[in-house]
A and B are shown apart, each in its own frame.
Chain A
């Protein structure tokens, strides 16, 4: 089933190399003398064309490459510009547009690793650019055309987590005829929303929203739901993941009752992680939590309000008349002011939903019980979303009293006097920092969101976690639902705090990415993988212990001179191209295609023999002028 990379026919032996130096609209040329770089690099053997452009990534810049390839019969191309992370792919495509194999291209970073890091030393940066370019040119002497690896894939996805994010992703994919296995740890689907009785922005109950989606999931022939189930093992790669699932905790009778979850093996092409968030649990004594019974968390208050009779909110045998809401509990923490969390870090992020939640719940409470006196303690009111600002305006109109504190001087919660169980003492900055004491019957802590403790899953999926402990997306601006593992996507609050609307958008976006990846019956993989020259491999097995990626190296038996020998071969789906196996091989049988040892050697030669602006090209540099 797994076909290794096809090497296409060899190119013309004599290198004809085009070098392009980008000014990046001044980002580079303000420091590096790009004209001089282009002029000097011409002295390196094999360089036929050497040009400077203001924006190589622009359409005219790219078109110039394609045109030169044809006109000058270039057979290799180098661009010196920004980080390859941004534009390597752009130029590979441009090179292909010119009719050349995209791997006969080399990218040199002279911005992040040049002009930006050496802006105080223009000359040094210019020399460095020349050296890096010379290295690239030398490496290209040994470049070979490569092709992307295509592997057949399963048109089926695994969705982990059956909260609103997981449900939505499953429904979306199923509608596109992608099979879905939805795995939920708890005995029932729904996640956090099951506990939220009334939601902004339309006062719907969490359960009503969940019921709509659960209805769609249950009547769907494309979706298999496994509740009370967790992931036990994961192996494979984009298009070909093998998953084992099993009951949520080590097989007690309770679990069987809970959902009758069984061990099971699945094959899927993509994985969507929709494992959601936890509420922040305040520490003992934090804003009086646990010290005073009358200090409760927001989810507890939502329950309390939902359960209140028409006569009013009763708590601990007392009728509640004065309620305070404390914002930012467990969020926007400052080092040195707040107690660090278990991992030694504070939660320095904003939880995004709690400001609007406070105002929405406060209004909801006031609507039911107009006599309530409501006090709000905040740093900023972050009602940013559609209709959210309305709650702020209406809360002010309804007589909610606002106090503002500074993050480095959080309010104190104390035992109350005159029959009030608690009071809040703070410096209020809506006046002039006056010290104010507010006696209360009940203080509600607007707890933020924290990442779930999902260590096992994190280890199984090998996903990176951000400093805020949420799953880390691969690019925070451009690729918010993708991870660094190709084929594993993020949906909902597993990635960061968000509202339901934002959770739904994120779930659909993740489903969309999965549908793109699984649109065809095969997937394309990056081509930089290890490869074994079977003729050179002596079967010593030294490479196996070096490889950290299970299944990347495979023992294959072949007949050699009448005997069966066990040689190494590579599964390109699992090889990550780290190269750890390469140096141990005594016969140089294993090499990383696209990054071979001989290419590295040539780069070192290039760095050392680079012609520098003041001096002419050394004769040494030409000795490597001929490709192997």
Chain B
């Protein structure tokens, strides 16, 4: 893409991260007539939420309630969306924010691609689909997933064998092997960081031996298994395709644990585990479902009622510390648990699928990327007890899981709050400045 004109671009607000928090912040800002750039690192907006099955506590189909928001932001007259673009650094000085971006090559010209997927059908290479958390297969060139936005193909150079099949298949000559990474800088009146969270490694706790069994899975994998159109079309365990009959959920498997340095609670894992157990009991009515927990943190609106329903459905809640996990014969898994309600008696429990509630950790590094120290938990700081979405850096605000793990509804509320603070900041700043200075809009390079 030719981006010489982008060098001098100015936006009222740059929103960093196109998950539900970023989408909501962009919408609230766009609706208040601010010119917004929404930057997303991956090839589609939607964040984690677009890949979830259903959402607690309402059990709404997640993609059904995310797509309208994605679409509204994507087609909003005041919002531009740049995908496959990383924000590397944000500088705030002399009253202006400089946002340093890196645009990753997708090897497809978005202004030409019509999303027909002919390249995808022609491509001979398959690799574990990242959207399906590695459970399904993806072609080396593909539109990332069914309801991705934008609907543009992306080529993964790690797997592409440069056979040229896609080039031949493409009806619009959109595939371009010679694209390069580009670095550019845009200016912004304000910045909203909605960079979300990552899950810490499944293999972080050595005594849980996740590396040794495909049947010790991450909760995001289970989300995909539970989606009606997921990788296998139904819930099967990865090692041998068996329908699981006895599933364990291990809570706090990467949080509230001094030994791995994550002291805080990841806040949504109790609830999504209960949700997943409920959905499993719908999909596999005869399966035994056990949740091993320390405390059940069902604190949000409607959450306690959801928890009580799960108990009434027959899901087992066992208060226990899971000391270790071992793969055993038949691809099954054995859990060594200290049953707290039996004075710490140690028991061996056998299951055929185990889900580890991994901890939610930050992806944004404030020290490196914003020149400001991170809070003790590694997430962005919230130094003002009244302007809670302010990061302590002039004109830079944050929301959602960038300020610590939180569920969708809390993220959405916070995104509205960050939009408000950013909008107020702009109003104060422009008070006195003439509107003639308002810069022009750019053509949207993802070709909406």
Chain B: minimal CB distance from A426 (Å):
14
Q: Is B140 an interface residue (CB 8 A)?
A: no
Taking a contact as CB atoms under 8 Å apart, the answer to whether A58 and B58 are in contact is no
Query: What are the residues of chain A within 8 A of B68 when measuring CB–CB?
Result: 57, 86-87, 89-90
Bound Cα distance A402, B328 (Å): 36
Query: What are the residues of chain A within 8 A of B385 when measuring CB–CB?
Result: 202, 204, 209, 500-501
Q: Which of A179-187, A437-445, A510-518 contacts B (4 or more CB under 8 A)?
A: A510-518
Query: What are the residues of chain A within 8 A of B403 when measuring CB–CB?
Result: 386
Q: Is B130 an interface residue (CB 8 A)?
A: no
Chain A: minimal CB distance from B300 (Å):
7
Bound Cα distance A473, B288 (Å): 36
Per-residue 0/1 for B237-252: is the Cβ within 8 Å of any A Cβ (1 yes, 0 no)?
A: 0000000000000000
Within B128-153, which residues are at the interface with A (CB < 8 Å)? 146-151
Query: What are the residues of chain B within 8 A of A54 when measuring CB–CB?
Result: 146, 229
Q: Which of B9-17, B28-36, B82-90 contacts A (4 or more CB under 8 A)?
A: B28-36
Taking a contact as CB atoms under 8 Å apart, the answer to whether B265 and A380 are in contact is no
Q: Which of B196-204, B209-217, B416-424 contacts A (4 or more CB under 8 A)?
A: B416-424
Taking a contact as CB atoms under 8 Å apart, the answer to whether B428 and A175 are in contact is yes
Query: What are the residues of chain B within 8 A of A168 when measuring CB–CB?
Result: 386
Taking a contact as CB atoms under 8 Å apart, the answer to whether B427 and A176 are in contact is yes
Bound Cα distance A515, B297 (Å): 34
Q: Is B340 an interface residue (CB 8 A)?
A: yes
Query: What are the residues of chain B within 8 A of A519 when measuring CB–CB?
Result: 31-33
Taking a contact as CB atoms under 8 Å apart, the answer to whether B404 and A502 are in contact is no
Within A344-397, which residues are at the interface with B (CB < 8 Å)? 348-350, 352, 380-390, 393
Taking a contact as CB atoms under 8 Å apart, the answer to whether B149 and A59 are in contact is yes
Which residue of chain B lies nearest to A470 when distances are taken between CB atoms in the complex?
B301
Query: What are the residues of chain A within 8 A of B410 when measuring CB–CB?
Result: 502, 505
Q: Is B341 an interface residue (CB 8 A)?
A: yes
Q: Is B95 an interface residue (CB 8 A)?
A: no
Chain B: minimal CB distance from A39 (Å):
23
Which residue of chain B lies nearest to A88 when distances are taken between CB atoms in the complex?
B68
Q: Is B221 an interface residue (CB 8 A)?
A: no
Taking a contact as CB atoms under 8 Å apart, the answer to whether A380 and B295 are in contact is yes
Taking a contact as CB atoms under 8 Å apart, the answer to whether B340 and A430 are in contact is yes
Chain A: minimal CB distance from B74 (Å):
8
Taking a contact as CB atoms under 8 Å apart, the answer to whether A429 and B302 are in contact is no
Within A50-91, which residues are at the interface with B (CB < 8 Å)? 54-55, 57-60, 62-63, 82, 86-87, 89-90
Interface size of A by CB at 8 A reads 78
Taking a contact as CB atoms under 8 Å apart, the answer to whether A509 and B386 are in contact is no
Max chain B Cβ within 10 angstroms of own Cβ: one of A25, A212, A502, A512: A512
Bound Cα distance A617, B140 (Å): 47
Bound Cα distance A432, B295 (Å): 16
Chain B: minimal CB distance from A133 (Å):
20
Taking a contact as CB atoms under 8 Å apart, the answer to whether B382 and A476 are in contact is no
Taking a contact as CB atoms under 8 Å apart, the answer to whether B32 and A509 are in contact is no
Q: Is B264 an interface residue (CB 8 A)?
A: yes
Q: Which of A6-14, A477-485, A595-603 contacts B (4 or more CB under 8 A)?
A: A477-485
Chain A: minimal CB distance from B48 (Å):
14
Query: What are the residues of chain A within 8 A of B408 when measuring CB–CB?
Result: 477
Query: What are the residues of chain A within 8 A of B373 when measuring CB–CB?
Result: none
Which residue of chain B lies nearest to A505 when distances are taken between CB atoms in the complex?
B417
Taking a contact as CB atoms under 8 Å apart, the answer to whether B31 and A25 are in contact is no
Q: Is B303 an interface residue (CB 8 A)?
A: yes
Taking a contact as CB atoms under 8 Å apart, the answer to whether B265 and A508 are in contact is no
Within B42-77, which residues are at the interface with A (CB < 8 Å)? 55, 57-58, 60-61, 63-65, 67-69, 71, 75
Per-residue 0/1 for B78-116: is the Cβ within 8 Å of any A Cβ (1 yes, 0 no)?
A: 000000000000000000000000000000000000010
Bound Cα distance A509, B423 (Å): 12
Query: What are the residues of chain B within 8 A of A509 when measuring CB–CB?
Result: 28, 412-417, 420
Q: Is A130 an interface residue (CB 8 A)?
A: no
Chain B: minimal CB distance from A518 (Å):
10
Bound Cα distance A54, B227 (Å): 14
Taking a contact as CB atoms under 8 Å apart, the answer to whether A389 and B341 are in contact is no
Taking a contact as CB atoms under 8 Å apart, the answer to whether B419 and A512 are in contact is yes
Query: What are the residues of chain A within 8 A of B341 when measuring CB–CB?
Result: 429, 432-433
Q: Is A504 an interface residue (CB 8 A)?
A: yes
Query: What are the residues of chain B within 8 A of A429 when measuring CB–CB?
Result: 319, 340-341
Taking a contact as CB atoms under 8 Å apart, the answer to whether B299 and A513 are in contact is no
Within A150-166, which residues are at the interface with B (CB < 8 Å)? none
Taking a contact as CB atoms under 8 Å apart, the answer to whether A175 and B146 are in contact is no
Taking a contact as CB atoms under 8 Å apart, the answer to whether A432 and B342 are in contact is yes
Taking a contact as CB atoms under 8 Å apart, the answer to whether A496 and B297 are in contact is no
Chain B: minimal CB distance from A81 (Å):
9
Q: Is B388 an interface residue (CB 8 A)?
A: yes
Taking a contact as CB atoms under 8 Å apart, the answer to whether A58 and B147 are in contact is yes
Taking a contact as CB atoms under 8 Å apart, the answer to whether B302 and A504 are in contact is no
Q: A429-B340, A430-B340, A505-B417 are in contact. Are A58 and B428 (CB under 8 A)?
A: no
A sample of 26 inter-chain contacts (CB < 8 A) reads A55-B147, A57-B147, A58-B147, A59-B147, A59-B148, A59-B151, A86-B64, A86-B68, A87-B64, A172-B420, A172-B424, A349-B301, A352-B300, A383-B265, A384-B267, A385-B404, A386-B264, A432-B342, A476-B58, A477-B58, A477-B408, A502-B410, A506-B413, A507-B417, A512-B32, A519-B32
A82-B61, A512-B420 provided; 18 other pairs, C-beta below 8 A? A30-B228, A58-B146, A59-B147, A60-B151, A82-B64, A176-B424, A177-B427, A202-B385, A349-B301, A350-B303, A382-B295, A389-B265, A476-B409, A505-B410, A508-B421, A509-B28, A509-B420, A513-B28
- 10 nearest A-B residue pairs (beta carbon): A509-B416, A25-B229, A508-B417, A516-B31, A380-B295, A512-B420, A58-B147, A59-B151, A432-B343, A505-B417
